[in-house]
Structure 1
Amino acid sequence: MRFSVGIVSFIPCLFGLTFVGAVPTKDCAYAVKESIAEPHGWTKDSQPSPNHKIELKIALPQPNFAELERHLYEVSNPDHERYGEHLSKEEVEELVAPHPESLNMVNEWLSSFGFKDEDLARSPAKDWITLKVPVSIAEKMLDTKYHVWKHVESGDYLVRTTSYSLPTNLHAHIDLIQPTTMFGRFKSEKSSIFSAVPIPDSLVQANNAIGTIEAASGVSVDASCNQTITITCLQELYNAVGFKPSAKGNSIGITGYLEEFANFQDLQTFYADQRPDALNSTFNVISVAGGLNNQSLDEAGGEANLDTQFAFGLSHPISPTFFTTAGRPPFIPEEGGSEDTNEPYTVWLDFILSHPNPPLAISTSYGDDEQTVPFSFAQRACAGFAQLGARGVSLLFSSGDGGVGDGDSNPATQTCISNDGKNTTKFLPAFPASCPFVTAVGATTHIPEVAVSRFFSGGGFSNYFTRPAFQDKVVSAYLKALPKGTFAGLFNLNGRAYPDVAAQGDLFKVFVGGEAFLIGGTSASSPTFAGFVALLNDVRLKAGRPSLGFLNPFIYSKGFAGLNDITVGHNSGCGTLGFNATKGWDPVTGFGTPNFGKLRELVLSL
């Protein structure tokens, strides 16, 4: 801790009080605001250029968030009289606005470093402030030292610190500042085990074979679906054949990151192959912070094409939007380099919270390992998801592709080491899937469906978020049935459990760069489930009802009756077979996969 020099340092810096003789914020003593252990798997590489630009994001407290959470659960609980009475953008912003005193204190601090109001970007609720500064200034503001860190396994680089400080009288007025202690490696959940491979001619010939197979739900599915998943396969498997949405007032969105571009020409090829009635239709593209969507076939993204082709193919003609967000956190350090190293996810979250009409169902197939995301940051991002849920938006996230472990590691040598400096072995949950305000989607394969095992369908228990009340009954039952001592000490018995649901996640026929590929991962599961949520919203809207919004209270109280229970499979990782799929909810496939026919009746009964 350092103290300012001179007689003024002996005058107390009282939290939020201003009086004659009080110490200006800039002269207050600094104290550590946040500190982490040196992150596992990273090494200090070098010093960043003093001119390297960092986009600091400052989060101010949301003193009325508990009130917003109350509203969220009331409008999302099918048994509550307010079910479906979603809040407006303005009502949500009023509930998350910081106290004026916090605004004044932070403004005073920033002005002491020469920043003017025009240098600052504020969120609509004024709960976030963003400003771009050179590293040299950030180090003075935060009384810290940044380094270039290298990720040993991948070779990625980040500019980060393991500790930062603030004036003592600001601690109550700032929740967090990033990028500082965040060492996440934001990635798509497209499985590296079931990677994209061209479809061989032998498989094309086999898929021409005639025949059907019986799914566990009792529906008949074309036999070819055990080798290649198409739109028709999903419609048959999930009991949606013949349903035609009207699209009026409905919408669906896909998020894109890390320079993954969704190709229009590939979409037309996909539609010609699997959804001919959608030919010549396309999707809206919204650029976030300058995000691109280059249309060269050489730059077509496997992740982006998978997500858009299946989500929009399933939900056609519901209004589709692809959000392309700029930013790629790892950078290559070079002399005088000034690349931005921010996490792009929060850039999208800021944007969508300011959007007057976000899509009613949004799928994201990207995530981090929970332990690489500071707890304070995870809390605030999760609070952002709650705001969207309160506005009637359903958020679907892939549950991850590492089973109970780290999807980045080679499954054969997966060590699952804690990131707290103790280097203990434990299961590694994923974020944002672990946030209780989103719906996490696991993966199944084959017909009849089983969980995708072998280090694939991510699932487990959060170390950050406690188990929400809507999960208590089913999760407690699952844990009670586990043999005593199973995985003792490897997971948090009281944590938010995930996934909530599942969908097919392997062998998806996707067109990339003009060629057909088979792609797998929970990256496929999330846009698939989102497509069916969009269809359910269509059912609701046609009947004059509001959108489904935050799904979990519905799923855990009534919706599970419209899901196909998956009872075979497991999610290996960390040198174990992981958790087992079993009757009822489980941390591999949640409550199971959608039966649209049943869910359609359930959502109409609400």
Structure 2
Amino acid sequence: MRFPSFIPALMTALATASINPMDRRAMTVHESVAVLPSGFAHSGSVSPDQEITLRIALVQSDIVGLQSKTYAVSDPANVLYGQHLTVDEVATFVRPTAVTVSEVSGWLQTYGITAKSVSPAGDLLQITVPVSTANTLLSAQFSSFTHTASGKTSIRTLSYSIPASLQSHIQFIHPTVAFVPPLTAPSLNRVKVEGHAIVEERVEPTSNTVTSCANTVTPSCIEALYGFPTAKANHSAQNIIGVAGYTGQYASYSDLALFLKNLQPDLVGSNFTVMEIDGGVNTQAQGQAGDEADLDIEMTVGLAGGVPTTFISVGADYTDDIWGFIDIANSILAAPIKTRPTVLTTSYGFNENTVPVSVSIGMCNAYTQLGAVGISVLFASGDGGVSGLQPTSCSTFQPTVPGTCPFITSVGGSSGLAPQTAAALSAGGFSNIFPTPAYQAAEVAAYIASIGDEYAGLYNTSGRGIPDVALQALDVEFVWDGSLYLVGGTSCATPIFAALIALVNDRLTAAGKPVMGFLNPFLYSSVGKAAFTDITSGNNPGCNTNGFYAAPGWDPVTGLGTPNFNALLTAVGL
């Protein structure tokens, strides 16, 4: 006998309800996607037996309190300045309440599911279940989706629900409704120097620097421009640069050695260590070096001589739905303090409109914890019509995440030496998620007032503005795969700034003072701004528009301008 098609489904639902009586609780949609995002296509059903790993972000007990504390220890006008928190102290703010843990655990146990904690404070739980169980648990319909440009597939759903009684206990569950394009290496705009031996005459900081560095920016040009000390750092304890590496980008020991031999001979023999996360590796096989990884390592090791540098290789075994960007923060927090970086530089990012708000906030909360313990977190602001990795929607002036997080320092690009101008590729803008933080409110308001109605409606006038600072982003020399290249991009500027901050940290620790930590309240203070050279010309053309342009004071192309090492030392009281 043939049954109506709804009968088997009804019988399954009744059976499930008898096994899981808590299913009778009212469910409510927690997150959903109205329309499948452009660039993705539904590619079929998924076997109900296929396992899926989900992360459950629990509501943190006092994230607002942590934000306030982080601002306090990072504000030079506050009596708590420099008194960074310990990981245990941070945990008291982000650890879920006992009620939250009990309620969510009880819900999962009803389905025979036991979650494990995957964050230092226990605010992030992980479960691995068959797709059929995930569908029942979340009233979802997980399917296979393909990113058409790359061919990469993922298991996602357009909507998921949780018991209404748990709305106040769960921030989000992912991977579920996040359709984030695959992470790819930044476009470096590199040009190979053909027919040129990798031997450069060192440019000493003399009156001829401007002329000799006009078209080729060597490490010594950078040192001369920003006043880098040429002597090696001598107080490296508890001061480490962390270089984030993604997308199978591996830093080459041999390329670094060649770079130092020819461009920074005083630092020959310097190297880096490796930290592996989510199955990351750092292969040294011929031809496997990543251009971004090599650039970031060479700009940090080669400019912050004597400061230990760690390449943090993030692999593909992430389950945070954002390519390991939250995992890296949790792994750093969990690391012993003696191996924890004091500066973290990242040359990757996402267009803000491609990442769910819940995930962007989750990333921001994770990086806030790094700032609270005394880590300066730097992200490239993005390059021209491309925000780091993905095409920017020029008509809406999309900024990048996680750089728009108020607890991250966003680095833009400059070019030229006398005068310095905005690099045409330097992206910036205003967040549609995070409001303008108090530390930059006056500067953002002044810029918006200066442009009047230009681009009215194309950006959020009350959003967090990026970048915060700028450094050289054009015609910088580096070695990749055994050859010399000139490269451009904010992903070049960011590790340069990381090296500069690490050297300031070196002087601070030598004087018995704490490292700088979260930078922005200091940068926007009167003493901090005085350490920067304002850039007032140039713009980011964007696509079919003139884009934002540099102007006196802060602007969304070059931020506060470019730094000077000695002026920074004065600003921090040295």
TM-score normalised to structure 2 length: 0.90
**Which residue of 1 is the match for residue 422 of structure 2?**
451
Checking the alignment, whether the CA contact within 8 Å between 2:304 and 2:503 is kept in structure 1 is: yes
1:165 — aligned with what?
Answer: 161
Report the Cα offset of residue 209 of structure 1.
Answer: 11
Amino acid at match of 2:346: T
What CA distance in whole angstroms lies between the structure 2 residues aligned with 1:546 and 1:406? 32
Residue in 1 that maps onto 2:4? none
Q: Deviations over 1:123-172 (max 9, x none)?
A: 22110012233433322222112233333444443332221111222211
Per the TM alignment, residue 24 of structure 1 is displaced from its structure 2 partner at its CA by: 5.8
CA contact (8 A) 2:142 2:157 kept: yes
Separation in 2, partners of 1:238, 1:446: 12
Mapped partners of 1:407, 1:326: distance in 2: 17
Corresponding residue for 1:68? 66
1:604 is displaced (CA, Å) by 2.1
Contact 2:371-2:517 within 8 A present in 1 as well? yes
AA partner of residue 95 (structure 2): A
Paired letter, 2:502: A
Q: Is the 8 A contact 2:534 2:553 kept in 1?
A: yes
Distance between the aligned counterparts of 2:302 and 2:390, measured in 1? Answer: 30
Verify the 8 A CA contact 2:240 2:342 in the aligned structure 1: yes
Q: Which runs of 5+ in 1 are unaligned?
A: 10-22, 215-219, 330-338, 417-424
Give the aligned partner of residue 6 of structure 2: none
CA–CA separation in structure 2 for the residues paired with 1:55 and 1:564: 48
> CA 1:415–1:472 in structure 2 vs 1: closer, same or farther (change >3 Å)?
closer
Partner in structure 1 of residue 93 of structure 2:
95
The secondary structure found in structure 2 opposite 1:527 is helix
- Alignment partner of 1:377 out of 346, 349, 359: 359
SS in 1 for 2:345: strand
Q: 1:135 to 1:402 in 2, by over 3 A?
A: farther
> Counterpart of 1:438?
408
Aligned counterparts of 1:203 and 1:442: Cα–Cα separation in 2:
31
- In the TM superposition, 1:564-603 aligns within 5 A as 564-603=533-572
Asked if 1:408 corresponds to 2:356, the answer is: no
Instruction: Tell me, in whole angstroms, the C-alpha distance in 2 between the residues paired with 1:129 and 1:340.
Output: 11
Who is 1:335 aligned against? Answer: none
1:139 corresponding residue in structure 2: 135
Distance in 2, matches of 1:362 and 1:210, equals 28
CA distance in 2, matches of 1:493, 1:159: 36
Q: What is the count of residue pairs matched by the alignment?
A: 556
Name the aligned partner's letter for residue 29 of structure 1: A
The Cα of 1:236 is off from its aligned counterpart by 0.7
Q: Deviations over 1:229-280 (max 9, x none)?
A: 2211110111124343214312111011111111111111111112222222
Check if 1:467 corresponds to 2:455.
Answer: no
Match of 1:429 in 2: 399
Q: Is 1:348 matched with 2:328?
A: yes
Contact 1:189–1:523 (CA under 8 A) maintained in structure 2 = no
Matching residue of 2:316: 327
> Which whole-Å CA distance do the structure 2 matches of 1:265 and 1:208 have between them?
21
State the SS of the aligned residue for 1:201. coil
| Distance (whole Å) between structure 1 residues aligned to residue 146 and residue 243 of structure 2 | 31
Match of 2:300 in 1: 311
The Cα offsets for residues 482-531 of structure 1, whole Å up to 9 and x where unpaired, read as: 1x321111100000001000111122222222122222211111111000
**Aligned match of 1:544 in 509, 512, 523?**
512
Aligned to 2:454: 486
- 1:235 matches 2:223: yes
Instruction: Name the SS for the 2:209 alignment partner.
Output: strand
Deviates more, 1:391-400 or 1:44-53: 44-53
Cα distance, 1:405 vs structure 2: 6.8
Whether the 8 Å contact between 1:540 and 1:604 is mirrored in structure 2 is: no
Does the 8 Å contact 2:403/2:409 carry over to 1? yes
Cα distance between partner residues in 1 of 2:51 and 2:562:
45
Compare 465-474 and 40-49 and name the one that shifted more.
Answer: 40-49
SS in 2 for 1:137: helix
Task: Return the alpha-carbon distance in structure 2 between the equivalents of residues 567 and 188 of structure 1.
Answer: 32
Aligned to 1:332: none
Once the two structures are superposed, what CA deviation does each residue of 1:83-128 show, in whole Å capped at 9, x if it has no partner? 10111110001111101111011111222222235xx243221100
Contact 1:55–1:340, Cα closer than 8 Å, also in 2: no
Deviation at 1:37, TM superposition (A): 2.9
| 1:50-199 equivalent positions in 2, closer than 5 A | 50-116=48-114, 120-185=116-181, 187=183, 190-191=186-187, 195-199=189-193
Percent identity between matched residues is 38
Q: CA deviation at 1:45?
A: 2.6
Q: 1:212: Cα distance to partner? A: 8.5
Output the CA distance in 1 between the equivalents of 2:320 and 2:386: 32
Aligned 8 A contact 2:241 2:502 in 1: yes
* 1:546 aligned counterpart, secondary structure: coil
1:43–1:89: structure 2 CA closer, same or farther, 3 Å change rule?
same
Q: CA deviation at 1:53?
A: 4.1
Counterparts of 1:328 and 1:200, CA distance in 2: 38
Distance 1:239 1:189, change over 3 A: farther
Per the alignment, do residues 302 and 54 of structure 1 end up closer, same or farther by CA in structure 2, a change over 3 Å counting?
Answer: farther
**Contact 2:55 2:320 (C-alpha < 8 Å) held by counterparts:** no
Query: How many angstroms apart in 1 are the aligned matches of 2:511 and 2:305?
Result: 19
Contact 1:260 1:304 in 2 (8 A): yes
Asked if structure 2 preserves the Cα contact closer than 8 Å seen for 1:189 and 1:400, the reply is no
The alignment partner of 2:396 has SS state of coil
Assess, with a 3 A threshold, how the Cα gap between structure 1 residues 243 and 279 changes in structure 2: closer, same or farther.
Answer: closer
CA contact (8 A) 1:189 1:398 kept: no
1:29 pairs, out of 23, 26, 30, with 26
CA deviation vs aligned residue, 1:330-382 (integer Å, no higher than 9, x gap): xxxxxxxxx99762222212211222322111101111111111111111210
Tell me the alpha carbon deviations over residues 274-333 of structure 1, each in whole angstroms, 9 at most, x when there is no partner: 22222222111111122111101310000111111111211121111111111178xxxx
Gap change, CA 1:72 and 1:278, over 3 Å in 2: same
Moved more, 93-102 or 501-510: 501-510
Normalising by structure 1, what TM-score?
A: 0.86
Partner residue of 1:13?
Answer: none
Q: Distance in 1 between matches of 2:183 and 2:212?
A: 31
Name the SS of the counterpart of 1:245 in structure 2. coil
After the TM superposition, which of the residue ranges 240-249 and 313-322 deviates more from structure 2? 240-249
Q: CA RMSD in A?
A: 2.7
TM-superposed CA distance for 1:406, in Å, is: 8.7
Task: Report the CA distance between 1:587 and its aligned residue.
Answer: 0.2
Partner-residue secondary structure (3-state), 2:313:
strand
Q: Residue 342 and residue 367 in structure 1: after superposition, are their counterparts in 2 closer, same or farther (change >3 A)?
A: closer
Equivalent-residue separation in structure 1 for 2:322 and 2:64 (angstroms): 29
Residue among 527, 531, 542 paired with 2:499: 531
TM superposition shift of 1:211: 10
Letter matched to residue 260 of structure 2: Y
Return closer, same or farther for 1:25/1:314 CA change in 2, 3 Å cut-off.
farther
Measured at CA, do residues 124 and 222 of structure 1 come closer, stay the same or move farther in structure 2, by a change above 3 Å?
A: same
Give the Å deviation of 1:184: 2.0
Q: Distance in 1 between matches of 2:51 and 2:209?
A: 54
Q: 1:406 to 1:426 in 2, by over 3 A?
A: farther
Whether contact under 8 Å (2:325, 2:363) holds in the other structure is no
Change (3 A) 1:223 1:46: farther
Q: Which residue of 1 aligns with 2:40?
A: 42
Corresponding residue SS for 1:434: coil
Contact 1:443 1:452 (8 Å CA) reproduced = yes
- For 2:264 and 2:51, how far apart are their aligned partners in 1? 46
Are the aligned partners of 2:185 and 2:247 in contact in 1 as well (CA < 8 Å)?
no
- Provide closer, same or farther for how the CA distance between residues 567 and 403 of structure 1 changes in structure 2, counting only shifts above 3 A: farther
Is contact 2:279–2:317 with CA below 8 Å preserved after alignment?
no
